[in-house]
Chains A and B, each alone.
Chain A
Amino acid sequence: MQNHYPDLTSRKKPFKKTVNQVVLFVLGRALQSLSKTDPIIRAETALWPDGFTLVMDILPKGGSMAVRRQADMSLRYLGDKFPAEKSDIAIHINDVESAFKMFTGQLGSDVAYARHAISAKGDLSYTVSVVRVINVVETYLFPRILSSKLMKETPPIPGWRLHLLRLKTYTLGVLFGI
């Protein structure tokens, strides 16, 4: 009987899982770096309480990243082990495929929410502000042709700042969190 009807445990998608984890790391470091300089992000984080912690993870065990708002309004990347239940708001991406689409510029945050690809735990009154911050970060991380498809309209970032901070984010930001 056992041989005819074996358990079928869930299959693995190592490539997509790895890409997702890398993007979560890049996102965390980019949030840390850009929150020190980008005025649009700083205008948003100014409204977050000091010590406010945001976790974004992929369910069930697809990776995680957390950031905490500092006294100077910047965000500090807390790595990939911060427990979601201790955060002020946890954004859960419900499956590996949705996360892969979001992290490769195929699915925007608002559409992901509309499709129930995301669930959120905690104080939802900050969700809209968090989405705006993520949209700004994605505008820096993705080329304009992709980011314009991901959001209703791209944030008003002047071209010179976009290029300069994009360069900084991909070098000093991602590598050293500066």
Chain B
Amino acid sequence: MKFSEYYEFSFPVKIISGHTALNKLQTELTQAGVSRPMVITDAGVVKVGLLEIFLNAFAESDITIGAVFDQTPPESSTTVVDEIAKVFREKACDSLIAIGGGSVIDTTKGVNILVSNNSNDIREFRGADILKGCLLPFYVVPTTAGTGSEATNTAVIQDLEQGVKMLIVSELLLPKAAVLDTRMTLTLPPKLTAATGMDALTHAMESYIGIQQNPMSDAYAWQAITLIGRYLRQVTANPQDKDGRLALANASTMAGTAFSNAMVGCVHSMGHATGAVAHVPHGIVMSVFLPHGLRLNLPKTADRIGELLLPLAGADEFASTLPEQRAQKTIEQVERLKEDLFKLSGLPRNLKEAGVKRDQFDKIAALGINDGSALMNPVELTLDRAYGLLEAAWEG
């Protein structure tokens, strides 16, 4: 494979990782010169007691939590971003902390754009590489190990008036620090653990084979795949495995870093479309489409897919497979992982099990080929190929 002729890579996020890493966050805030953070989270996080763990970590500090917004919906929207920005200003907060998954983190990124730019209209900032200047200090405490949003330069926010999803891409959206604390993912049920782990695996694999891949993003993707290959089955089988949980949280952040700098491909195109049409959770559709997306890209990236056998399956499997068979073997390993996760947690293996209807294929295919991720896929995602992926994933 030719060495990247030109690339850009940015990852200015401090990682604080450990079984009780949250305890360090108060020092980070103090060092950044802020003392009134606003916390943005959702009802689920509060319900399972994660907000309590977070608040305990600030005991005996000089930090005052200026406000807690705990009603973030499953999909971030302009309305909720406006509402939170208003509270932030009224309570004179000076920084932001997101505790949650993708939607909470994206919402917080949107709020940060508004409050940092003293604006009331997030639509002004739609687009790629449009934001300028600096945003306010922002911290993320992920409660899933999959989206990698703590390490990505994108925010997806629904414009409820226009009925469209707005995409904002800028490295300024990255947080100052991400806190990977074992306690935050310990309560994730096995099925969700499996789905979010497959989401992270998809980020890593698609970024590794995409046309924007580069040596830096490769390093992050490689290590993420190694950790997922080693720990995802183990943690799904034993959710209280603390070391495994921490490893998966790290893998998710690393996969997010790879994806933020190298983008993703057709698995995400089809996954976003399926999610929008059939309302299937993102991690599940990633898992369903991943082997089929890899197979679609075999004609252009067989060597790269073959290399991934080593981190995914280990040295013995890699060494005992002929070089020309490694790409196929990698795909078989992904399929085996899916099968194992189905047995361990009931994670759907195909579109049929995920509840997608065949009469939704037309809409999904039309949306899929227009998803931004398709641009970075090595093989052109045509309408015929989108249908091919849907057929392959139907019962496959």
A residues in contact (CB < 8 Å) with B: 47, 90, 110-111, 113-116, 119-129, 131, 151-153
**Complex contacts, B127 vs chain A, CB 8 Å:** 90, 119-122, 124
A-B contacts, 28 of them at CB < 8 A, read A47-B370, A110-B211, A113-B375, A113-B376, A115-B6, A116-B8, A119-B127, A119-B129, A119-B130, A120-B127, A120-B128, A121-B127, A121-B128, A122-B127, A123-B164, A123-B166, A124-B127, A125-B165, A125-B370, A126-B370, A127-B372, A127-B375, A128-B369, A128-B371, A128-B374, A151-B380, A152-B378, A153-B380
User: Please, which residues of chain A bring their CB within 8 A of the CB of B263?
Assistant: 114
Q: Does B212 contact A (CB under 8 A)?
A: yes
> 14 extra interchain contacts, Cβ-Cβ under 8 A, other than A125-B372, A128-B372, A152-B380?
A111-B211, A113-B375, A113-B376, A120-B127, A120-B128, A121-B126, A123-B166, A125-B165, A125-B167, A127-B375, A128-B369, A128-B370, A128-B371, A152-B378
What's the dominant secondary structure at chain B's contact region? loop
Most chain A beta-carbon neighbours within 10 Å: one of B128, B212, B376: B128
Residue B379 is within 8 A (CB to CB) of chain A in the complex: yes
Give min CB distance, A147 to chain B, whole Å.
Answer: 13
Residues 154-170 of chain B, each 1 if its beta carbon lies under 8 Å from chain A, else 0: 00000000001111010
Q: Contact between B126 and A124 (Cβ–Cβ < 8 Å)?
A: yes
- Measured in the bound complex, the distance between the Cα atoms of B302 and A37 in whole Å is 39
Smallest CB gap from A153: residue in B: B380
Query: Known contacts being A114-B263, A127-B375, is A121 close to B130, with CB within 8 Å?
Result: yes
Interface size class of B (residues with CB under 8 A): 20 to 34
- Determine how close the nearest CB of chain A comes to the CB of B391; give it in whole angstroms: 21
The reply to whether A110 and B126 form a contact with Cβ atoms under 8 Å apart is no
Q: What chain A residues lie within 8 Å of B167 (beta carbons)? A: 124-125
Q: Give the docked Cα–Cα distance between A119 and B371 (Å).
A: 17
Question: Does B342 have its Cβ within 8 Å of any Cβ on chain A?
Answer: no
Known: A128-B372, A128-B374. A152 touches B126 (CB 8 A): no
Q: B165 to chain A: which residues have CB within 8 Å?
A: 125
Minimum Cβ distance to chain B for residue A148 (Å): 12
Alpha-carbon distance between A4 and B166 when the two chains are bound, in angstroms:
51
In the complex, residue of chain A having the shortest beta-carbon distance to the beta carbon of B169 = A124
B374: chain A residues within 8 A (beta carbon): 128
Choose one: B6, B8, B164, B379; the contact of A125 (CB below 8 Å). B164
- CB-CB nearest in chain B for A98: B6
Contacting A at CB under 8 A, from B354-377, are 369-372, 374-376
B128 touches A119 (CB 8 A): yes
